[in-house]
Amino acid sequence: MVDAFEYPQTPHVRRHGPDGYTTYESYRPWLRDEFCFRCVLCMHRERWPTTSEFEIDHLIPVSDRSDLKCRYGNLLYVCRRCNSLKTDLRIPDPCSIAYGECLHISEDGAIEALNEEGRTLVRTLQLDRPERVRQRRMIIEVLSVVEETGDTQRQNDWLGFPEDLEDLARLNPPSNERPMGIEESFFARRRRGELPETY
């Protein structure tokens, strides 16, 4: 079940393009859907009980570029722990490089940096700290047991989508560069019966 921590093998391509909000918190529902309800930096999911609250991070810090404070393309969906470690530091853009080519998680929860970008991520976010490795190992072990028992309810609890999917069509941002992304949102896919039980 190490797959639950598998980083993408291609750069993230943004589906959504809302613009014009005056507070970056207004982008939260879009970012949750954009990054599949998990921290784009460490892959922890909203539904995992060991995960802290999720926050919005500025890829390019506001201290460097205040004009990007409310630009969707500069915003990431991250867990509180990663956000507090990143602070105003620069990290590789997950929309420019594939994190799966930078980082690898083993079945024992250990993380391996595969290149310089990976080393930057591990160092900045302290992804190799013993408590982070232990937490990943524990989640992988729990997911393996759940898979072995065939308990689909527990599997859905750990690997399923949140119940509170946002209907992005109701949000009406001031503008939207990618309005077609709304029809590919997880809410729209669930409404059409196309959303799998787990991901």
Average pLDDT for runs of 10 along the chain of length 199? 90 98 98 98 90 89 96 97 95 98 97 98 98 95 92 92 96 97 98 95
Distance, in Å, from the CA atom of 164 to the CA atom of 142, rounded to the nearest integer, reads 24
Residue 2 is predicted with a pLDDT of: 72
Residue 51 is predicted with a pLDDT of: 56
Residue 18, SS3 per DSSP: strand
Distance, in Å, from the CA atom of 40 to the CA atom of 170, rounded to the nearest integer, reads 25
Residue 52 is predicted with a pLDDT of: 64
- Shortest CA distance to 75 belongs to which of 59, 64, 55, 87? 59
Residue 54 is predicted with a pLDDT of: 96
Beta-strand ranges (E) seen in the chain are 18-19, 54-58, 75-79, 103-105, 111-113, 175-176
* pTM for the whole structure: 0.94
The pair of three-digit structure tokens given for residue 150, joined into one six-digit string: 């065939």
Residue 111 is predicted with a pLDDT of: 98
Instruction: Give the number of C-alpha atoms closer than 13 A to the C-alpha of residue 47, restricted to the C-beta side.
Output: 18
Query: Left (φ > 0), alpha (ψ -120 to 50) or beta: where does 136 sit?
Result: alpha
- How do strand 18-19 and strand 103-105 relate by DSSP bridges? unpaired
Q: Alpha helices of 46-169 — where are they, by DSSP H?
A: 80-86, 116-125, 130-149, 152-159
The pair of three-digit structure tokens given for residue 63, joined into one six-digit string: 């201290």
